[in-house]
Amino acid sequence: RAKLEGRGTVRFFQQKLHDELVRQHYLSSRLEEALDNGELSLHFQPQVSAVSGGIENLEALLRWEPPEGPTISPAEFIPLAERSGLIHRLGDWVIEEACHQQVAWRAKGFHRHRIDINISGRQLTRPGALKRFEDTLQRHGLAPQDIGIELTENILIEADETVLEDLWRLYHRGIRIAIDDFGIGYSSLSYLKHFPATALKIDRSFIQDAPTQPKDRAILEGAILIGHRLGLEVVAEGVENAEQLSLLRDLHCDLIQGFFFFRPMPAQEIERLLSGFVGGPGGLSG
Ligand code: C2E
Ligand code: MG
Ligand code: MG
Ligand code: MG
């Protein structure tokens, strides 16, 4: 009997694996078409000042809304695009779209906020990727401060010489470079000495339980301190409640990003927000 049950379990997992592979194959083959058909869009999630509550920065996050079904998360389709190589076209589209949006907002008089886009490791393996990013900014008449990039620690560690040179050039031109998901990579802290960065984004996992778990709090406190001592702006990701916000303010974190204030939103909603028609949750005054 045990043998039979075991076999049933194996078959169950084989089926799940099979379904998963079929879905991946389907999404991967649909993605390019989706890009061509305008099924992809950028949403923007505000980062607010921990002190004033003002919107300082917007993180651009890709969304795929297929006409035939529910929205698909970038966490699912970005890895597929990396594997197929479509990430290069997709990445170009994101840069172009972010620039286009920022130009439109500047023209409407919204001058304060910056936009950051995510760049994945595979994107930087294409020669000249960062040069092209700078050129796109210039072509749109944007200043270096208008659009920044987010890279994970692993990307910085694995970057080759030419990519590092490009990153330093961006850095010296005043383009913002944030280290995304800080603290969850496999890297030692020493890389912080050698790589260009202007900001640290502390991963959500350290924020989540910090108000109640002393060890999480200690790590969070240490990360913010390291960031500040290195002259970096510190951003907290995934802030979902008032307790987390209050702690982060006590620890002098600079910027707050998370559902407690705002979810990622389409450009139109951001615009209403920037126009001051829609308020935040009032977390800072309360
Ligand atoms: P990320 O860069 O770390 O982005 C932050 C993620 O956290 C986003 O997920 C955002 O929706 C989510 N988030 C923000 N606040 C909260 C919160 O309070 N609670 C929780 N539970 N989650 C929160 P999203 O949009 O699903 O993106 C997932 C990942 O996909 C991103 O992680 C990024 O690595 C990648 N990604 C998204 N857009 C792009 C893109 O244009 N290019 C590239 N290369 N990667 C992208
Ligand atoms: Mg990010
Ligand atoms: Mg992140
Ligand atoms: Mg993250």
User: How many helices (H) and strands (E) would you count in the chain?
Assistant: 11, 9
How many CB atoms sit inside 10 A of residue 157's CB?
Answer: 15
What is the three-class DSSP state of 277?
coil
Alpha-carbon span 56 to 52, nearest angstrom: 10
CA 203–ligand 3 middle distance (angstroms): 6
User: Which atom of ligand 1 sits closest to the CA of residue 123?
Assistant: 44
The DSSP annotation for 173-185 comes to HT--EEEEEETSS
Is-contact 244 210, C-beta < 8 A?
yes
pLDDT of residue 284: 44
| Cα 103 to Cα 110: distance, rounded to the nearest angstrom | 10
- Alpha carbon distance 267, 42 (integer Å): 8
Cα dihedral value 157, 90, 92, 232, nearest 10: -40
Q: What does the pLDDT read at residue 188?
A: 78
Residue in 45, 58, 61 to alter for ligand 1 test, most ligand atoms within 8 A of Cβ:
61
Instruction: Enter the DSSP assignment of 275.
Output: T
| Pair of tokens at residue 93 | 């589209």
Distance (Å, whole) CA 172 – CA 166:
10
From the CA of 239, give the closest atom in ligand 1: 18
For ligand 1, atom 11, which residue shows the shortest CA distance?
264
Which one of the ligands is nearest to 45 CA? Answer: 1
Residue 285's pLDDT is 39
Nearest atom of ligand 1 to the alpha carbon of 91:
42
For residue 17, the Cα-to-chain-centroid distance in whole angstroms is 29
The finding on whether 119 has its CB within 6 A of some atom of ligand 1 is: yes
**Burial (Cβ within 10 Å: 0-12, 13-18, ≥19) of residue 197:** buried
Nearest-angstrom CA–CA distance, 117 and 62 = 9
Give the position of tokens 């078409």.
33
Of all protein residues, whose CA lies closest to atom 4 belonging to ligand 1? 61
Instruction: Give every residue of the chain whose pLDDT is below 70, as ranges.
Output: 1-4, 277-286
**CA-closest candidate to residue 263, choices 242, 237, 284:** 237
> CA 59, CA 265: separation in Å to the nearest integer?
10
Q: What pLDDT is attached to residue 158?
A: 87
Report the pLDDT value the prediction gives residue 26, as an integer from 0 to 100.
86
pTM of the model as a whole:
0.93
Residue type (1 letter), 17: L
Residue minimizing CA distance to atom 32 of ligand 1: 75
Does residue 152 line the site of ligand 1, with CB under 6 A? Answer: no
- Rounded to a whole number of angstroms, the distance between the first and last alpha carbons of the chain is 62
Q: Which ligand is nearest to the CA of 244?
A: 1
107 Cα: distance to centroid of ligand 2 (angstroms)? 26
Residues in the chain: 286
What's the pLDDT at 1?
Answer: 61
Residues 6+ apart with CB under 8 A from 147: 95, 98, 99, 102, 114, 115, 116, 117, 137, 175
Which amino acid belongs to residue 35? Answer: L
**What is the predicted ipTM?**
0.98
For 149, counting Cβ atoms within 10 Å of its Cβ (0-12 exposed, 13-18 middle, 19+ buried), the class is buried
Which atom of ligand 1 is found nearest the CA of 120?
44
